[in-house]
Amino acid sequence: MYRLLGVVITVALILMTRPAQAAPNVDNIAHRGGAGYGPENTIAACVLSGRQGANMCEFDVQQTKDLELVLIHDQTLNRTTNVEDVYPDRAPWRVSDFTLEEIRRLDAGSWFSSRYQGEGVPTLKQALDNMGGGGPGLLLEVKHSPINPGIDRRVATELQENRSLWVGKRLVLQAFDWKAVRALHRMLPEVPVVVIGKPGVGQLAELSGYAKGITLPHSGLTPDYIAKVHERGMRVYTSTANRRPLIRRLIAYGVDGIMTNRPDRVWAVKRRW
């Protein structure tokens, strides 16, 4: 009898310490569109991630020589496209040195797998079209550098011109440049903006005046810090978690979103919570 009572008490304690109903509210964010199973920063990867349980795709936004907006992480094209074969004399192959028409000639899928041959570098408009067509929401990281002047204004203009594709859906903007994040908030007050970094607790009050959240690495992240961010009405996104034990730990900590290269694993952990 006493042994049975001990088992009952142990189970009760476990249930009491688990975060009730926390998991279903955690955003499953496919990092770079879902870089574990598809060519990063492509629509094909994001579509696959949606099938694997992602409710958002994280993409990096840069601008071309003719000031068009494309989705690519690096400032150069050679790691994730066949630019060296198509334009062998254009080193160092910076995104900002090519027009959109030139970039459209590139293959951004074959380096990952032959089944993605012909997958192109997408534009921001294509990502919005995919979301508007029922695809996952978007967490867009705006890349700032001296070779991307005016990119915030162009992102804002693109979003304003395509309001029908994102109104009522999950759309978030983020950047390392906190002043730019504030500017984006002023230009697009309807769109939540997030700062990338780990602000001190004393900075949270000011940030909460315009930012709806923080994106930061999972290393060193604690439940206490997350609670202090939540006290300011802000969300916590973390990157990049691919292992199931880590995913479970972050959910238990109370994060609001997990960036992952393998969204099926986040989905599996949430489903079994």
Can you read off the two tokens belonging to residue 258?
């997990």
Summarize the chain as % helix, strand, coil (round to 5): 40, 15, 40
- 230 catalytic residue (yes or no): no
List the one residue out of 195, 229, 231 whose CA is nearest residue 210.
195
CA distances from 199 to 144, 202, 236 (A): 19, 8, 12
C-alpha–C-alpha distance, residues 26 and 94, integer Å: 36
List the one residue out of 130, 235, 225, 217 whose CA is nearest residue 172.
235
- 218 catalytic residue (yes or no): no
What residue has token string 């041959």?
A: 117
C-alpha–C-alpha distance, residues 97 and 109, integer Å: 21
Do the beta carbons of residue 248 and residue 23 sit within 8 Å?
no
Q: Given 73, 144, 185, 230, which residue is catalytic?
A: 73
C-alpha–C-alpha distance, residues 150 and 214, integer Å: 23
C-alpha–C-alpha distance, residues 128 and 148, integer Å: 21
**Residues forming the active site:** 31, 73
